[in-house]
Amino acid sequence: MPNKLSGKIAIVTGASKGIGLSTAKYLAAEGAAVVINYASSREGAEKVVGDITAGGGKAIAVQANVASKAEIERLFAKSKEEFGQLDILVNNAGIYEIAPLGQITEEHFHRLFNLNVLGLILTTQEALSHFGPEGGSIINVSSIVSTRSPAGTAVYNATKSAVDGLTRTFAKELGQRKIRVNSINPGPIETEGAHSTNSVDDTSVAS
């Protein structure tokens, strides 16, 4: 009996680690061919591809900074060249960085918004020309932070609140094209990103 995603093609941004890695492996286990996007962790991305192919799945790794329109176009072109039509886009790539009000800088603001918000918009735009007439699915990874609003996360919180708003709006815009747009808002999860910002220790987790 075929898996429920047999024959489907998925792009997962930021899939070399953390939530993206787990998502990519799940999609592959359900039968989808998966494009593992990464920005800098080539070794991590290639390991994910190796794990998927070793289990009989299909996957490739493609480097691209999804805050760049030109690199996004290259990502999707490579996906089409390798697998053909797109069925699933998971907008997972993002930066988790904390800064209390007094430490917010222009660089911090633009770094987070360029990837977490603009990147999501640009990848969604590009995906529209790759979905077929039967539509597809877009899944945006937001965060419980968008509603919990913990201290010290103002800019990150703002980006994830924007993701929530974009998801609702795009769902209304794209529904007539049979393209579903949903978000998931995870709670505390121990990831490499959480460790890199010193927001998690060996006995706790962070969102």
- 131-163 per-position pLDDT tens digit: 999 999 999 999 999 999 999 999 999 999 999
Range of the structural domain that residue 126 is part of: 9-196
Residue 33 lies in a domain: yes
**Residue 96 catalytic?**
no
Q: Using CA atoms, how far apart are residues 58 and 11, in angstroms rounded to an integer? A: 12
Residue 201 belongs to a domain: no
Residue 38: inside a domain: yes
Residue 14: inside a domain = yes
pLDDT band for 207, please (50, 70, 90 cuts): very low
Q: Has residue 204 been placed in a domain?
A: no
Does a structural domain hold residue 180?
yes
Give yes or no for a contact between 86 and 62, defined as CB atoms under 8 angstroms apart.
no
Q: Is the pLDDT of residue 200 over 60?
A: no
Helices (H), 36-141: 42-54, 69-83, 106-113, 119-127
We report the CATH number of the domain holding residue 155 as 3.40.50.720
Look at residue 100 and tell me if it is in a domain.
yes
Q: How many domains does the chain have?
A: 1
Q: In this predicted model, which residue has the larger pLDDT, 111 or 202?
A: 111
Read off the pLDDT of each residue in 100-109 and give the average, rounded to a whole number: 97
DSSP count for the chain of H helices, then E strands = 8, 6
For the segment 83-94, the average pLDDT, to the nearest whole number, is 96
Identify the band that residue 189 occupies on the pLDDT scale cut at 50, 70 and 90.
confident
Mean model confidence pLDDT for the chain: 91
- The four Cα atoms 164, 165, 167, 173 give a dihedral, to 10 degrees, of 170
For the stretch 156-181, pLDDT in tens is: 999 999 999 999 999 999 999 999 99
Is 3 a member of any domain? no
pLDDT tens-digit series, residues 26-56: 999 999 999 999 999 999 999 999 999 999 9
